[in-house]
Amino acid sequence: MATGRTHRPATRSRGIPEATVARLPLYLRALTALSERSVPTVSSEELAAAAGVNSAKLRKDFSYLGSYGTRGVGYDVEYLVYQISRELGLTQDWPVVIVGIGNLGAALANYGGFASRGFRVAALIDADPAMAGKPVAGMPVQHTDELEKIIEENGVSIGVIATPAGAAQQVSERLIAAGVTSILNFAPTVLQVPEGVDVRKVDLSIELQILAFHEQRKAGDAEAAAAAAASVLPPRAADGPTRKGPDGDVPAVMPA
């Protein structure tokens, strides 16, 4: 779901597949939980189950990092936690700014998950002068005017945009101009960013719409199944591959 990332095809030796990178945090979380329970080693099968993935996939993912397992035994939990953390760049501290301190921005500021993994909220920024100075999550909100100064003084390279959609593009441009090269965008807009800037998008509305699609499909299938059962048609016994039906889709007539 990341958009606007620019890949370099040249570095193939070090190339960890994007899909693998996206799963590393998942493994890391499961491993951290094991670590807290002082579990010394874990097999790919167990860890895969905890992370909700296929064990072969997990092993292949780890193979991109190197051979960190012991055959017949499994993986050393502590060691793997360290390796993944290092690979993800979590052994260093990442200052982050959150722009747009509305309901969502405030929720993000209060979210504990930030601080727990090498991310530090360096500043909260909002365009509303009335917000300036108001404490949110134990930190005073600063005005947008300070944006550039904050970015530069703190060496911020990751910005979180939680503004209304209309302001997002402009905010992203200011962030980028000031030195930010990675953006986590919560605003429901497609950001246009220059080469070399990574943007990841989190969009509630889109997620819900995707769920609605599947939900509708389930309901449609159920109805179709019921209708088929009720009709004279022989109810296709095997309900394995959901009967897609003789395309029950009606060619809708064009409105207007």
Touching a copy of itself, residues 195-234 (CB under 8 A):
196, 198, 200-219, 221, 232-233
Phi, psi of 96 (to 5 degrees): -130, 140
Nearer CB in complex with DNA: 160/193:
193
Residue 63 interacts with, from DNA, a copy of itself, none (CB under 5-8 Å by kind): DNA
Q: Among DNA, a copy of itself, none, what binds residue 85 when CB lies within 5 to 8 Å by partner kind?
A: a copy of itself
Q: Among 29, 35, 50, 57, which residue sits at the site for DNA (rule: CB under 7 A)?
A: 57
Site for DNA in 72-111 (CB under 7 A): 72-75
Residue of the chain from 5, 17, 115, 165 that contacts DNA (CB under 7 A): 17
- 13-72 positions binding a copy of itself, by CB under 8 A: 13-15, 21-22, 24-26, 28-30, 32, 35-36, 50-52, 66-67, 70
What is the amino acid identity at position 153?
Answer: E
Structure tokens at 154: 């703190």
Among 60, 86, 134, 217, binds DNA (CB under 7 A): 60
Query: In the complex with DNA, which residue's Cβ is closer, 8 or 37?
Result: 8
Measured distance CA(152)–CA(97) in Å, rounded: 11
Q: Phi and psi of 97, rounded to 5°?
A: -110, 145
Taking the CA of residue 245 as centre, how many other CA atoms within 13 Å lie in the half-sphere pointing to its CB?
A: 15
Residues 163-202: x where in contact with a copy of itself by CB under 8 A, - otherwise, as a string: ------------------xxxx---x-x-x---x-x-xxx
Q: Which residues in the 64-123 window bind a copy of itself by CB under 8 A?
A: 66-67, 70, 76, 78-79, 81-83, 85-92, 94, 96, 102-104, 106-108, 110-111, 113-114, 116-119
Handedness of CA 140, 144, 146, 151 (dihedral sign): positive
Which lies closer to DNA via its Cβ, residue 17 or residue 155? Answer: 17
Residues of this chain that bind DNA (CB under 7 A): 9-10, 12, 17-20, 43-45, 53-57, 59-60, 62-63, 67-75
